[in-house]
Amino acid sequence: MAIEPFDVVDLIRTKRDHGILSTAQIDWLVDAYTRGYVASEQMSAMTMAIFLNGMERSEIRDLTMAMIASGKTMNFSSLSKPTTDKHSTGGVGDKITLPLAPLVASFGVAVPQLSGRGLGHTGGTLDKLESIPGWRANLSNEEFFSQLENVGAVISAAGSGLAPADGKLYALRDITGTVEAIPLIASSIMSKKIAEGTAALVLDVKFGSGAFLKDITQSRELARTMVALGEDAGVATSALLTNMNVPLGFAIGNANEVRESVEVLAGGGPADVVALTIALAREMLALAGQPDADVEAALADGRAMDTWRAMISAQGGDPDAALPVAKETLVVTADRDGVLVEQQALPFGIAAWRLGAGRARAQDPVQHAAGIDLHAKPGDTVTAGQPLFTLSADEPERFERALEALDGSYRIGDFGDPVLDGGPLIAERIGA
Provide the CATH number for the domain around residue 46: 1.20.970.10
Residue 6 to residues 26, 66, 114, Cα–Cα distance (Å): 10, 16, 35
Q: What is the Cα–Cα distance from 358 to 354, expressed in whole angstroms?
A: 7
pLDDT at 362 over 70: no
Please report whether residue 155 resides in a domain.
Answer: yes
Question: 395-415 pLDDT, tens per residue?
Answer: 999 999 999 999 999 999 999
Please report whether residue 362 resides in a domain.
Answer: yes
Nearby residues of 135 by Cβ (< 8 Å), 6 or more positions away: 129, 312, 315, 316, 317
Bridge-based pairing of strands 251-253 and 371-374 is antiparallel
Asked about 259 being catalytic, the answer comes back as no
Do residues 310 and 402 both lie within one domain?
Answer: no
Could you say which of 27, 166, 232, 421 is catalytic?
166
Do residues 137 and 45 both lie within one domain?
Answer: no
How far the first Cα of the chain sits from its last, in Å, is: 45
Pick from 168-177, 195-204, 268-277: least confident: 168-177
Do residues 140 and 258 both lie within one domain?
Answer: yes
3-state secondary structure of 367: coil
Could you say which of 88, 188, 238, 392 is catalytic?
188
Residues in the chain: 432
Asked about 87 being catalytic, the answer comes back as yes
Please report whether residue 421 resides in a domain.
Answer: no
Last residue of a domain, one of 276, 293, 321: 321
332 φψ region: left (φ > 0), alpha (ψ -120 to 50), beta (else): beta
- The overall average pLDDT reported for the chain is 94
Of residues 15 and 119, more confidence is placed in 15
Could you say which of 15, 87, 206, 354 is catalytic?
87
Asked about 206 being catalytic, the answer comes back as no
pLDDT at 80 over 70: yes
Last residue of a domain, one of 270, 291, 321: 321
CB 50 within 8 A of CB 188: no
Phi and psi at 330, nearest 5°, equal -140, 120
Please report whether residue 280 resides in a domain.
Answer: yes
Could you say which of 117, 121, 192, 398 is catalytic?
192
Encode burial over 187-200: b for 16+ CB neighbours within 10 A, e otherwise.
bbbbbbbbbbbbbb
Please report whether residue 73 resides in a domain.
Answer: no
Arithmetic mean of pLDDT, 93-122: 90
3-state secondary structure of 379: coil
Q: What is the Cα–Cα distance from 432 to 372, expressed in whole angstroms?
A: 38
pLDDT confidence tier of residue 2, bands split at 50, 70 and 90: confident
Question: 137-156 pLDDT, tens per residue?
Answer: 999 989 999 999 999 999 99
pLDDT confidence tier of residue 171, bands split at 50, 70 and 90: confident
Domain that holds residue 40: 8-54
Provide the CATH number for the domain around residue 346: 3.90.1170.30
CB 383 within 8 A of CB 346: no
Asked about 192 being catalytic, the answer comes back as yes
Do residues 264 and 348 both lie within one domain?
Answer: no
Single-letter code of the amino acid located at 284: M
Asked about 160 being catalytic, the answer comes back as no
Do residues 202 and 257 both lie within one domain?
Answer: yes
Provide the number of structural domains found in the chain. 3
Please report whether residue 60 resides in a domain.
Answer: no
